[in-house]
Amino acid sequence: MLNWALIFLVIALIAGVLGFGGIAGASAGIAKILFFVFLILMAVSFIRHLAR
């Protein structure tokens, strides 16, 4: 999941440099959502590990 967030972040950066604002904004939004989903899943996994 973190890999996908990083891929979309790179796409957003490249699109921003090339002047494609719409694509850059959409890719940055997707990267942000995937990053927060990754953080939530990591926290749940960590709590489950401690509970064992």
Question: What pLDDT is stored for residue 19 in this prediction?
Answer: 87
Q: Which domain holds residue 43?
A: 2-51
Instruction: Please identify every stretch of the chain with a pLDDT value under 50, giving residue numbers as ranges.
Output: none
pLDDT of residue 41: 92
> In the chain, how many domains are there?
1
Say what the pTM is: 0.73
Q: Say what the pLDDT of residue 22 is.
A: 87
Dihedral, CA atoms, 43, 48, 50, 52, nearest 10 degrees? -170
Provide the pLDDT for residue 27: 87
**How far apart are the C-alpha atoms of 44 and 19, rounded to whole Å?**
38
Q: DSSP labels for the chain? A: -HHHHHHHHHHHHHHHHHT-HHHHHHHHHHHHHHHHHHHHHHHHHHHHHHH-
Q: Which two tokens stand for residue 49?
A: 């590990």
